[in-house]
Structure 1
Amino acid sequence: MLRAASALQIPVFATTQSRTKLGNTVSELQRHLSGPHIRADADKTLFSMITPEIDALLPAKNSPKLDAIIVGIETHICVTQTTLDLLERGHRVYILVDAVSSINPEERGIALARLRDAGAIVTSSESVLFEILGDAQNEQFRTVSGLVKESKEDTKSALGVFSKI
């Protein structure tokens, strides 16, 4: 998703929970957190990523609403609180079932069901990418479809584990 976000110039707001205590974002992802589309890479202690720093970067109340795509860990904690905060502000929220996890698998399903009931759209990374593209004539179609093909085995494996909600 980070590589596709770069190709599509989708704004990315990244946060890490207590870097000094829990460590930095994993190196596999860290290397994709640069470029003009990266709007934030912030440390936080709040469970929601909608910290005052991030909130200041989001559209004002009377501005057009966001289509926010959520990926991350601890679906039942940080993903849930972030999603609820964004929904409360009127934004549309997509949670990628193959890109969120929890230390206890049972917590994940409970959280996804709760968030779907609250109004979030629970979908997959491939589905949301092609929804963003909208047309095979999109100038980024080859790049994104190449990324999808390149990661198809990882995606298939993740969906096999994570799509049980």
Structure 2
Amino acid sequence: MAQRRITKPALFICDLQEKFRPAIYEFSKVITTTQKMLKASQILNIPVFATTQNKERLGETCPELGLDAPGGVKTVAHADKKLFSMLTPEVRGGINSLGSNLSCVIVGIESHICVTQTALDLLHDGHKVYVLADGVSSCNKEEVPIALARLRAEGAVVTTSESWIYECMGDAAISEFREMAGLVKQTNQSTKDVMQTLCKT
């Protein structure tokens, strides 16, 4: 029987809020990748965690992500925080409910602050961490490659959404492959556009 390559995945969506939209470099591209990852999470039944940073001041999660909305993606935890790391008590409780040694894939903002501190905390707790280069950004674009280089050195895997999706599946014989391949085909042009913007060397 076909087996997935990544058996305990979890998707972490960090602080994708309305107030950040005009401030973050290529924010719309981060949203595009996050939407693709949310569709993948529904196909592959991947648990989702999300946070807002000081929601009272910085607003709700962007509505086009549809988190916890009717017909949208139900999260394990959708927590507001003052911490920079996503690992609030509520999020930690959700992680603990899934067990140990998760494979955590992170998208969101800002690369060098909240994404970095979330990745470091997850690594410290013994989880595998993937950071999507086509799914993170910062106010200053120059922060991003520095943050990704640091996270590589700390033990995180820096990869792309498409690479991670295929690694998660691991085998074209799994039952969800046809639907996932359709998602990749459907998002082919937007993936190319995002890569050419956020993953320039």
Fold conserved between structures, TM > 0.5: yes
Q: Does 1:14 align with 2:50?
A: yes
One-letter amino acid of the structure 2 residue matched with residue 57 of structure 1: G
- Asked if the contact 2:67–2:73 (Cα under 8 Å) also holds between the matched residues in 1, the reply is no
Query: Which residues of structure 1 form unaligned runs of 5+?
Result: none
Change (3 A) 1:121 1:132: same
Partner residue, 2:16: none
Q: CA RMSD in A?
A: 1.7
Question: 1:101 Cα shift?
Answer: 0.8
Q: Does 1:26 align with 2:26?
A: no
Partner residue, 1:88: 124
Partner residue, 2:14: none
Find the residue that maps to 2:94 and give its secondary structure.
coil
Q: Structure 2: how far apart are the matches of 1:9 and 1:72?
A: 20
Q: Does 1:50 align with 2:87?
A: yes
Task: Tell me the percent identity.
Answer: 52
Deviations 1:40-66 (A, max 9, x none): 111111110001111122238xx5311
Partner residue, 1:143: 179
Q: Does 1:71 align with 2:125?
A: no
> Which deviates more from structure 2 when the two are superposed, residues 150-159 or residues 90-99?
150-159
- Asked if the contact 1:3–1:32 (Cα under 8 Å) also holds between the matched residues in 2, the reply is no
One-letter amino acid of the structure 2 residue matched with residue 41 of structure 1: H
Question: 1:35 Cα shift?
Answer: 4.7
One-letter amino acid of the structure 2 residue matched with residue 99 of structure 1: G
Deviations 1:60-79 (A, max 9, x none): 8xx53110000111101110
- Asked if the contact 2:134–2:195 (Cα under 8 Å) also holds between the matched residues in 1, the reply is yes
- Asked if the contact 2:116–2:147 (Cα under 8 Å) also holds between the matched residues in 1, the reply is yes
Q: Structure 2: how far apart are the matches of 1:115 and 1:5?
A: 24
- Asked if the contact 1:133–1:141 (Cα under 8 Å) also holds between the matched residues in 2, the reply is yes
> When the two structures are superposed, what TM-score results if normalisation uses the length of structure 1?
0.91
Partner residue, 1:59: 96
Q: Structure 2: how far apart are the matches of 1:144 and 1:20?
A: 37
Q: Structure 2: how far apart are the matches of 1:128 and 1:58?
A: 20
Q: Structure 2: how far apart are the matches of 1:155 and 1:105?
A: 19
- Asked if the contact 1:94–1:122 (Cα under 8 Å) also holds between the matched residues in 2, the reply is yes
> When the two structures are superposed, what TM-score results if normalisation uses the length of structure 2?
0.76
Query: Which residues of structure 2 form unaligned runs of 5+?
Result: 1-36
Find the residue that maps to 2:142 and give its secondary structure.
helix
Question: 1:32 Cα shift?
Answer: 6.9
Question: 1:100 Cα shift?
Answer: 0.6
Greater RCO structure (CA 8 Å; 6+ sep): 2
